Amino acid sequence: MTEESIGRSFAAGIVGVLAILASCAAVAAPEYAEVRPGVALVFPRDDGAHPAYRTEWWYITGWARDRSGRELGVQVTFFRNRPGVAEANPSAFAPRQLLFAHAAVADALHGRLRHDQRAARAGFGLAGAAEGLTDIAIGDWSLRATDRGYAARIPAQGFTLDLAFRVTQPPLLQGAGGYSRKGPAPAQASYYYSRPHLAVSGTVTIDGAPIAVEGEAWLDREWSSEYLSPEAEGWDWAGINLADGGALMAFRIRDRHGGTLWAGGTLRRGDGTVRTFAPHEIAFTPLRSWRSPRTDADYPVAMGVRAGDIELRLESLMDDQELDSRATVGTVYWEGAVRATGGGRTLGRGYLELTGYWRPLKL
Amino acid sequence: MLRIRALAKRYEGPRPRTVLAGIDFDLAAGEYVAVMGESGIGKSTLLNLIAGLDRPDAGSIELEGRDLARLDDDALTVLRRARMGFVFQAFHILPYLSVAENVALPLVLLGAAAGEGRARVDAMLSEVGLNGRAASRPSELSGGELQRVAIARALVHRPALVLADEPTGNLDPDSAAQVLALLRDAVKGNNGAAILVTHSRAAAATADRVYTLTAAGLRAGGARD
Amino acid sequence: MAHVPAPRLRGTLRATAGALAGHKGRVLVTIVAIALGVALGYAVQLVNRVAVNEFGQAVQTLSGTADLAMRGPRGGFDEHLFGEIARLPEVAAASPIVEVEARIPGRDDALRVLGLDVFRAGLIQPGLVPEAAESLDTLRDDTIFLNAAAMDWLGARTGDLVPMQVGTQVIRLRVAGSVPAEGHAQPLAVMDIAGAQWRLARIGRLTRIEVRARPGADVAALERRVAAMLPPGVAVERPAAAIESTLRLSRAYRVNLNVLALVALFTGGLLVFSTQALTVVRRRPYLALLRVLGVTRGGLVGLLLVEASAIGAIGALAGLLGGYGLAQLVLEIVGPDLGSGFFRGLAARATFEAAPAALFFALGVATALFGSLAAASEAARTEPAQALRAGDEERAFGRLAPTAPGIGFIALGALLTAAPPVRGLPIFGYVAIACLLVGTILLIAHIARAAFRRMPVGRNPPARLAVLQLRGAPGQATVSLAAIVASVSLLVSMAIMVASFRQSLDAWLEHVLPADLYVRAGRTGDTAFLPPDVQQAIAALPGVRRVEFLRSERLLLDPERPQIVLLARAIDATTAPLRLPLVRSADLPAGGAPPAWVSEIAADVYGLAVGQEIVLPIAGRRVRFRVAGVWRDYARQQGAVVIERALYAELTGDRDANDAAIYLEPHASPDAVIRALRARIPGAAELETALPSEIRRRSLKIFDRTFAVTYALEAAALAIGLMSLSSSFGALVLARRREFGVLRHLGLTRTQVGAMLATEGAIVSALGLAVGTALGWVISLILIHVVNRQSFHWSMDLHVPWTSLAAFTATMLALASLTALVSGRQAMGAGVLRAVKEDW
């Protein structure tokens, strides 16, 4: 069986699950938990899963380097979804909780992303997201808490990630103490925290050749029951580990005309002080665009980001970091390693995420 | 005994032709005559008409005072069965019957009692000189012998009229002479009449009288040389 | 033939073709006979190929890229096995399946429903992943997806509700989209595995797990490892094995059909033999003349064989076309299982296939060649001078029938009936039949000679002549006789076999249906059952004296074979002879393993004898039983075993039932009880009630449908027999025209010649029918006691259908005499008189 046909069958199997997430709105509403302001996040409890909410993710992006200085972008993402069906079904197979995972390696030498994905319903000890601590797995893909941080093991098609992520800083609570608004309505919000400056060490195996790597990563943890406003087309997001030990997260949610529907961001300086930005303080300015030869989508792969008085220019490690996840979450987006520069200097490294450029994003 | 008047026969078809026309002919009991003529002139047709195997287009045939035209096929068949005997050029001895069974055939058809039949067949066989061959199969016999079986079969039921069509056509001159002598003796011994159709001058010479069939009719006398 | 100069050969061929053209009618009949045999064989082959392909493709769709599949009893096995299997490091992907034959109210066939985990099925069986407008519908428990065949069958479209009977209740599932299931021509439905488990009453159960091994993993090692983990009654196999084991079930049936096709071809070959023998004999002097003119012996044989193969080729070609058409027709009307019911629901079209086409073409040509070989070599051996003589034909016929080999064949045939089956097929049984047939045909000339010799010679001239002719030339009749004996014996044997089977089935039905009324949760499918409360309600109905409930399940005893049927019912050593049509039984010592009664098929296939121990995997445990009896069962081809229901309930906790046999109070009427049932029992609308007489009628109808193909082949054999008869009579009459001419000269009337021919025809047919019927009876014994026993494991009691055989014999006799008469009439034209002038 060729790689392509495996891909196809896989795709056929789990196509359009993102659409599943979207169609949840139409379902005779199950009792999803609501995201409310003023709820304090507690650790490690909130590292674990929150199955009462509709959508949740563990999103690690980072830069890794081998001894020769070759730089790789690395992405490991787990999604949990409660589709709101079969809630009363006594079957052990009842699809009450679904799990998806994406993994990707950006390698400038290769020129485009290597990526792979998984999907499963929770159960039988074969797939699940534990509550109370980080322990999430789909088959042999896993992300688990260690005593110093996290460990990810991702044996994928064409590459394997075996990486440890050491926590070096306290969690960065986004929005108002972890309550992050995503739109004009107060319910359009998520619980959101990040862990910047995770120290990466481990092995990336590409085409059977193991490469020992070190680097720095960023974990986003977010869960919600109602995320996007219906008018939203997609979002731009960036999470940058600044060279001075600081961290900047900025996002904007675009409307169907390219305007900004909502925006937000947080800066934690090297000294640990935190500044949260109001929507009007955030601006994303496309500087250069790249057209995907596969999907014809135009992505602004060089982006100017302003957050308050901070101005950064984000330049991609390589242009083609398009990620086709139609097989699992049903969309195509750009998730790329970027360098942040300002005043001619490299100020940091991180990831830029561009969604809704292929087709309006449904979540 | 046989009286033919103004007999005519015409064959229809793609090339219609008149075979016989204006034939007048009388044959008395005990007469042995030969009919000669060119090939295709109608000798066999004449025999078939006399035998009631074919119907004339004009004229009449009376056998022992009965007009053949008035008889249907079955009656003709019965008449033939009882009053006629045949000798063919190709012998036509039935291969699956023994010599005696072949000779007995006319008696069987006439419903003769078995014992009487057997005696008559034996007598006939000895008359044609085949006493010892009664149980033989036809395939074991020579041509001359086969024709002698045929003569025995033709006369076993004492027919009034024997019709012989080229009986020696398939035989060598010696056998032919024997067969002709036998046929003549048998017919005469039975006090029957016979018509011998032949090409052979030698054969015709054994007859009491010779007729020649021409397009103009049947006239007395041998064929012109 | 190289030594024959080409121009002369061409000229000779032209002359021969001219001679053949003079026998147009006979040559045509021969071509038709070969075409018929080839057509039947090719059609059976094509139809069967379609069935196998369709079935294989269906399995392919269902198993996808799986390396291994685990399957167990029909009711499934514990789902925990899935987690254990999926976690094995060598397993790349595992797809759990709960497969249910869902009863659709008001339908005769059940709908095959697969409960799948789409995320996992997508990895192994992508063809089964539903196409949904709303992708979340693939996960709901009230939605179902249908393939095109199911949409057609149910007349359903997306958005419609499909009703299904579960227990005695009816649930409705929404059609939310389609399943591509390419290559799966049967109706098929897919739904989420959780929904299927819940809504179709299979919580905690799986029926199958498909597994794909990691690239590079040792599949055989994985198979062994998995096998060690499986509970009793669950087996692991390669997906292809599933095709094998199911096809094995129908293999005997297929082989039997192919043998029937070969029989048709054989009869065709016999016809070639008769026609060719007659034309050669009739042309003897002409062929001898060719020899005289300088054609060599080999050249002559070659010439005749070229002639025969031309006839064979034309016939075979026509047969292939006809077979293709026939296959198409059969597929449309009867379905690819030829009415046998082995591949229920398959629908397909025949496709031309080169290999079987070439095979059957070759068979057709070979048949013609073989048929003419004897005649050709005889013609070549004869000294020309002899052949030119009149009366030599009979000698030629004599040579066509040697004696010693005939006796040898019959003796060999008798010996072979004692031989065991080969790989489950009655190969030697068939060979024995062929030997008897060939032996009898070789001896037929001697039989005929003896019979004709003893025949009285009457005084009636035509009859007398007929007998004398037959006595004097038995050889000519033997060719006709051979054809009659072959077709009659085959036909009679089939008729006796089918009648015996039908009679035995009828008697069996009577035995197994002793009650006054039967209630079934559903005739088809396995979602319908009678829960305990409904059972009590049935027992409490007014007019009901006693009810016996039956639970049926399917167990996997041997992964190489289909599941065996387990029947749990109220039975014990005392009542067994009343409940079951036992063929063997024994009193078992008390206190030992509980008794089980196995069907004949199960006894044969699994090698079980009375008194022997049998281990049944029930509820995941190995339970020991002792065989207390063997019973006759025509209903379950995969084998069946009966145990006590109380014991079954104790072992499994399953107290549901599938059927109820109701015994009524003496005064009660079945109709009243049915009305009460409908009125008082919830969900009774979906229950099926039947009187034993209805079940009997229905079963016999199914039987007749199954044997429809057999009847068609019988009709073909009869047609070939008659054609053969008329052809050989026609030839004989033509050959004897001079003789008729002489007889007419000697004073035989037309009617008398006709009567003579009719008498000959009647005598020959009567002899042929007598020998054929006797041989047919012997062959039917082989069919019943060897072929059927070995291929289907069914025993049956001999039943000779005297009335229909007598009617058939009378018809054949009349037809044969008529044929002879008509042939005679045709030959009795004016030409007969001129024939006396012909020399040859």
Check residues C391 and C279 and name the one with the higher pLDDT: C279
**A95-104, B130-139, C557-566, C715-724: which range is least confident on average?**
C715-724
The alpha carbon of residue A215 is apart from the nearest alpha carbon of chain C, in Å, by 31
Residue B114 confidence (pLDDT): 65
10 Å CB burial of residue B161 (0-12, 13-18, 19+) is buried
| Rounded distance between C-alpha atoms, residue C369 and residue C363, angstroms | 10
Interior/surface letters A132-163, b for 16+ CB within 10 angstroms, e for the rest: eebbbbbbebbbebeeebbbbbbebeebbbeb
pLDDT band at C393 (very low <50, low <70, confident <90, very high): low
10 Å CB burial of residue C404 (0-12, 13-18, 19+) is exposed
Contacts of C42 (CB under 8 A, 6+ apart): C261, C319, C320, C323, C324, C327, C356, C357, C360
- H helices within C513-605, ranges in order? 532-539, 576-579, 600-605
pLDDT band at C1 (very low <50, low <70, confident <90, very high): very low
Contacts of C105 (CB under 8 A, 6+ apart): C163, C164, C165, C170, C685, C686
Residue A5 confidence (pLDDT): 34
Residue C839 confidence (pLDDT): 45
The alpha carbon of residue C123 is apart from the nearest alpha carbon of chain A, in Å, by 5
Option in A14, A20, A86 nearest C122 (CB):
A14
Residue C116 confidence (pLDDT): 94
Residue A344 confidence (pLDDT): 85
Decide if C461 touches B, using CB distance below 8 A: yes
The arithmetic mean of pLDDT across residues C146-175, rounded, is 90
**Contact of B8 with B58, CB cutoff 8 Å:** yes
Residue A140 confidence (pLDDT): 92
Asked if residue B67 belongs to a domain, the reply is yes
**A243-257, C669-683, C704-718: which range is least confident on average?**
C704-718
For chain A, the structural domain boundaries read 3-22+43-354
Decide if C464 touches B, using CB distance below 8 A: yes
Residue A2 confidence (pLDDT): 34
H or E segment at C325? Answer: helix C297-333
Residue C392: its chain B contacts at CB < 8 A? 139
How high does pLDDT run on average in chain A? 88
CB contact under 8 A, B51 and C745: yes
10 Å CB burial of residue C818 (0-12, 13-18, 19+) is middle
Asked if residue B41 belongs to a domain, the reply is yes
CB contact under 8 A, C194 and A24: no
How high does pLDDT run on average in chain C? 81
**C124-133, C377-386, C460-469, C746-755: which range is least confident on average?**
C377-386
| Rounded distance between C-alpha atoms, residue C69 and residue C232, angstroms | 16
C754 has a pLDDT exceeding 90: no
| Domain, as residue range, for B200 | 2-93+154-220
What CATH number is given to the structural domain containing B56? 3.40.50.300
How high does pLDDT run on average in chain B? 86
- From B97, which residue of chain C is nearest by alpha-carbon distance? C472
For chain C, the structural domain boundaries read 1-67+252-400, 69-237, 443-511+694-840, 517-690
A4 has a pLDDT exceeding 50: no
CB contact under 8 A, C136 and A14: no
Given this structure, which CATH class describes domain A3-22+43-354? mainly beta
Q: Which of C684, C652, C660 is nearest to C74 (CA)?
A: C652
The SS3 assignment for C402 reads: coil
Residue C749: its chain B contacts at CB < 8 A? 73-74, 77-78
- From C394, which residue of chain B is nearest by alpha-carbon distance? B96
Asked if residue B107 belongs to a domain, the reply is no
Please, do chains A and C touch (3+ CB pairs < 8 Å)? yes
The alpha carbon of residue C473 is apart from the nearest alpha carbon of chain B, in Å, by 6
Give the percent of chain A with pLDDT over 90. Answer: 72
- Rounded to the nearest 5°, which phi and psi values hold at C305? -70, -40
Interior/surface letters C513-539, b for 16+ CB within 10 angstroms, e for the rest: bebbbbbbbbbbbbbbbbbeebbebbe
Cα pseudo-dihedral C714, C715, C719, C720, rounded to 10: -30
Return the sign of the alpha-carbon dihedral for residues C830, C834, C836, C840: negative
CB contact under 8 A, B95 and C459: no
Residue C744: its chain B contacts at CB < 8 A? 53, 77
Q: Tokens representing A316? A: 């991609």
Contacts of C204 (CB under 8 A, 6+ apart): A92, C78, C79, C197
Check residues C640 and C376 and name the one with the higher pLDDT: C640
Contacts of C25 (CB under 8 A, 6+ apart): C727, C730
| Rounded distance between C-alpha atoms, residue B59 and residue B5, angstroms | 5
Residue B77 confidence (pLDDT): 85
**Contact of C131 with C145, CB cutoff 8 Å:** yes
pLDDT in tens, C685-703: 778 888 888 888 888 887 7
CB contact under 8 A, C390 and B73: no
The alpha carbon of residue C27 is apart from the nearest alpha carbon of chain B, in Å, by 27
pLDDT band at A15 (very low <50, low <70, confident <90, very high): very low
pLDDT in tens, C107-160: 877 899 999 999 999 888 888 889 888 888 999 999 999 998 899 889 999 999
pLDDT band at A245 (very low <50, low <70, confident <90, very high): very high
**A193-207, A323-337, C104-118, C708-722: which range is least confident on average?**
C708-722
Residue C122: its chain A contacts at CB < 8 A? 9-14
Residues of B with a Cβ under 8 Å from any C Cβ are 44, 48, 51, 53-54, 73-74, 77-78, 80-82, 84, 86, 88-92, 94-98, 101, 105-106, 108-111, 137-139, 153, 165
Option in C391, C748, C837 nearest B138 (CB):
C391
C742 has a pLDDT exceeding 50: yes
Decide if A12 touches C, using CB distance below 8 A: yes
Residue B12: its chain C contacts at CB < 8 A? none
Predicted complex ipTM = 0.86
Q: Which of residues 390-419 of C touch B (CB under 8 A)?
A: 390-395
The arithmetic mean of pLDDT across residues C735-741, rounded, is 78
CB pairs under 8 A between B and C: 89
C807 has a pLDDT exceeding 70: yes
| Rounded distance between C-alpha atoms, residue A152 and residue B186, angstroms | 130
**A229-233, C76-80, C664-668, C763-767: which range is least confident on average?**
A229-233
CB contact under 8 A, A89 and C96: no
CB contact under 8 A, C122 and A95: no
pLDDT in tens, B158-204: 899 999 988 888 788 888 888 888 888 888 888 889 999 988 888 88
Asked if residue B126 belongs to a domain, the reply is no
Decide if C389 touches B, using CB distance below 8 A: yes
Q: In the block, which residue shows the tokens 């890229």?
A: C65
pTM over 0.90: no
| Rounded distance between C-alpha atoms, residue C411 and residue C442, angstroms | 13
B128 has a pLDDT exceeding 60: yes
Residue C252 confidence (pLDDT): 66
Residue C640 confidence (pLDDT): 92
Asked if residue B187 belongs to a domain, the reply is yes
A216 - beta bridge partners? Answer: A63, A199
